[in-house]
Amino acid sequence: MPLMTGEQYVESIRKMNMQIYMFGEKIENPVDHPILRPSLNSVRMTYDLAQMPEYEDLMTATSHITGEKINRFTHIHQSTDDLCKKVKMQRLCGQKTAACFQRCVGMDGFNAVYSTSYECDQAHGTHYHENFLKFVEYCQTNDLVTDGAMTDPKGDRSKAPHAQDDPDMYLHVVERRPDGIVVRGAKAHQTGIINSHEVLVMPTCSMGEADKDYAVAFAVPSDTEGIYMIIGRQSCDTRKLEGSSMDVGNPEFGGVEALIVFDDVFVPNDRIFLNGEYEFAGMLVERFAGYHRQSYGGCKVGVGDVLIGAAALAAEYNGVPKASHIKDKLIEMIHLNETLYCCGIACSAEGEATVSGNYLINLLLANVCKQNITRFPYEIARLAEDIAGGLMVTAPSEKDLRDPVLGPVVEKYFRGSSSVSTEDRLKILRLIENLTLGTAAVGYRTESMHGAGSPQAQRIMISRQSDLNAKKEMAKALAHIK
């Protein structure tokens, strides 16, 4: 099957029968719902860009399974060049949407499960890698979106999965049958689930023998019986119901989060990639986290490009583009943003092949990348708010601007530079508000802190990967200490 167009993708999601709830009601038509549609548009962009010749090298790849051209979001990395192109692709998608385009978790899950299932088979004589290869080929051939689902609700975080008061706080196997397994639990913070054809479930932490029922990885269609989704609230989300593209800030693109509930869901044997092999849960989590921390050196940088551009326009529209302190703030924003990109490219260029053949990033540098992501976007956002000015959060609505009586007053008193309309000034300020405070802040600022693990999770991995003893030996050698 050739690559789907964006419109074909939208229609493929329309045909699905996902159980989606928001504001206490079941959403019968999520594809056209004004709050949910912008998130679908963000995923659609990954299909539209893959159809454009100028982006073919970044957006597509050659499948090592079929030899056919595929969307890079379904690719198994075959080289450090693939890893670098992944980051560049993510930056491009961030630039085009200024939102979370939602396919990174599935792509990162693909590559983590690929190598982990191979090594589990080597140790246990299982057939998980064969199962996974068939699943990947199916997704590549049909050009599907896969949601990666790792994070469990976790309940009391001082307790292991098996020790929770409520066993469903971590997704687990409740029944094993000759033809498959039945699972129960939930996965939280799922940005792309309502726009995905498939969901790839992975364990969320390292586990011991007592947790073996929680050491499970599998994939099922997103509309499988027993799966339902509850949409999370976001700041300014109901503005999308008001019909004002100006007040939304980014009227076409966005993202939403959801809780996925697995209410005794059946998984057939050929869709199981881990089933009780608890000693491989930690490997899978570590590799997935590394890939996903690499991803942030691309996607957040692309959104940062848009925010920097918006801040520069705000300075122009306010009439102060030549002020020295404005220039210095923009330079600082660019410096921080490009530093993040450097980290994403560095951990990719330093990647190495796993025993399964696919390529893994340099885990230390990937964690350094994400540690910087927990800090720099906050400073970029702060500087953008500084440059934009207070009108960003006190501007009147579009209805006021269009009102026959109030409109002329708004036009007069909220005008900045005489060369720019009041409407354009308000539009760019609303875009900055959207990126720093509104719905897009979930995919830029707040997600920069908690996505792909908390800051402390990266610091733990940096400690593990840094080989401090080797550094001690270097110092001893130079100081002539035996």
- The one catalytic residue among 292, 354, 374, 436: 292
- The one catalytic residue among 191, 354, 374, 436: 191
Residue 230: count of CB within 10 angstroms of its CB:
16
pLDDT tier for residue 419 given thresholds of 50, 70 and 90: very high
The yes-or-no answer on residue 25 being catalytic is no
Q: Which of 91, 129, 85 is nearest to 110 (CA)?
A: 129
- The one catalytic residue among 296, 317, 359, 444: 296
C-alpha dist (Å) from residue 43 to 16, 100, 175, 248: 16, 8, 35, 19
99: region left, alpha or beta (phi > 0 left; psi from -120 to 50 alpha): beta
Q: Which residues contact 385 (CB under 8 A, 6 or more apart)?
A: 392, 432, 436
Strands laid side by side in the 146-149 sheet: 146-149, 198-201, 216-221, 272-275
- The one catalytic residue among 60, 75, 84, 100: 100
Whether the per-residue pLDDT at 169 is higher than 80: the answer is yes
pLDDT tier for residue 442 given thresholds of 50, 70 and 90: confident
- The one catalytic residue among 104, 139, 205, 347: 104
Mean pLDDT, to the nearest integer, of 285-311? 98
> What digits encode the pLDDT tens for the residues 467-482?
999 999 999 999 999 9
- The one catalytic residue among 198, 257, 316, 433: 257
The yes-or-no answer on residue 299 being catalytic is yes
The yes-or-no answer on residue 62 being catalytic is no
> What digits encode the pLDDT tens for the residues 424-437?
999 999 999 999 99
Maximum separation of any 2 CA atoms in the chain, in Å: 85
Note whether 283 and 116 are within 8 A (CB): yes
pTM for this one?
A: 0.97
> What digits encode the pLDDT tens for the residues 172-212?
999 999 999 999 999 999 999 999 999 999 999 999 999 99
Q: Which of 383, 370, 368, 255 is nearest to 314 (CA)?
A: 383
Q: How far is CA 155 from the centre of its chain?
A: 23
The yes-or-no answer on residue 257 being catalytic is yes
Per-residue pLDDT at 427: 98
The yes-or-no answer on residue 33 being catalytic is no
Give the residue ranges of DSSP H helices in 249-390: 281-318, 324-349, 363-373, 376-388
Which residues are documented as binding site? 191
Which residues are documented as binding site for FAD? 191
Per-residue pLDDT at 197: 98
Percent with pLDDT over 90 in the chain: 96
The yes-or-no answer on residue 292 being catalytic is yes
Q: Which of 68, 107, 163, 22 is nearest to 361 (CA)?
A: 107
The yes-or-no answer on residue 473 being catalytic is no
Total count of residues recorded for the chain: 482
Note whether 181 and 40 are within 8 A (CB): no
- The one catalytic residue among 139, 205, 299, 369: 299
Tokens representing 95 are: 């630039």
Note whether 84 and 108 are within 8 A (CB): no
pLDDT tier for residue 447 given thresholds of 50, 70 and 90: confident
Side-chain half-sphere of 15: how many Cα atoms within 13 Å?
8
Q: Which residues contact 220 (CB under 8 A, 6 or more apart)?
A: 198, 199, 201, 227, 265, 267, 271
Note whether 395 and 477 are within 8 A (CB): no
Identify the structural domains of the chain with CATH numbers, from first to last. Answer: 283-468 (1.20.140.10)
